[in-house]
């Protein structure tokens, strides 16, 4: 079932990436979901999600060209259990994009055992965010504050 959902999600994203406009996305996605037997209600919900201006921008946007132009200090933190922005898919591309940027002060770090909100988490499931008592792990706060202090200390 997971493989099926992943495959459908990949096809949806590919349609958003390649279709020339919203009407074409609607047509492709509706056809795809109909073939898969998805009921009209959930299918319509999917169509609305992937055709929104935000969704189209999000799926099509490549941040690498912008990152290559950054000329200020950068701190990029990832949580090792983040399922929304998985570090295994994002940290190395971030490092690579920033490798050639004008800034000579770049830190990209994966913080072990933290989720997307930098809460301590074993699974990283978004459904658990509200169940975790810690708003933000003290070590994540320390990483950010010490990074800032190192760059703003009076000389």
Region of poorest pLDDT, from 10-14, 76-80, 82-86, 151-155:
151-155
Boundary (domain end) residue, out of 11, 31, 60: 60
Region of poorest pLDDT, from 48-52, 116-120, 138-142:
48-52
Boundary (domain end) residue, out of 11, 37, 60: 60
* Angular region, 37: left φ>0, alpha ψ -120 to 50, beta rest: left
Boundary (domain end) residue, out of 34, 60, 86: 60
Asked if the model's pLDDT at residue 155 lies above 80, the reply is no
State the Cα angle at 99 between 106 and 79, rounded to 5°: 55
Percent of the chain whose predicted confidence (pLDDT) is above 70: 99
How far CA 64 is from CA of 3, 37, 44, 79, 96, in Å, comes to 29, 37, 33, 20, 9
Element (H or E) spanning 74, and its range? strand 74-79
**Residue range of the domain that includes 80:** 64-152
Asked if the model's pLDDT at residue 58 lies above 80, the reply is yes
């Amino acid at each position: 079932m997971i493989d099926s959902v992943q495959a459908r999600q990949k096809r949806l994203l590919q349609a958003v990436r390649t279709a020339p406009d919203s009407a074409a996305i609607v047509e492709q996605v509706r056809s795809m979901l109909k073939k898969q037997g998805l009921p009209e209600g959930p299918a319509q919900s999917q169509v609305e999600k992937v055709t929104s201006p935000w969704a189209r921008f999000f799926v099509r946007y490549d941040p690498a060209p912008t990152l290559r132009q950054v000329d200020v200090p950068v701190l990029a933190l990832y949580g090792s259990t983040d399922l929304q922005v998985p570090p295994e898919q994002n940290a190395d591309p971030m490092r690579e994009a920033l490798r050639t940027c004008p800034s000579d002060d770049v830190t990209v770090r994966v913080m072990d055992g933290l989720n997307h909100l930098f809460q301590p988490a074993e699974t990283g499931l978004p459904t658990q965010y509200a169940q975790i008592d810690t708003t933000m792990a003290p070590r994540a706060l320390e990483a950010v504050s010490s990074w800032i202090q190192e760059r703003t200390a009076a000389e």
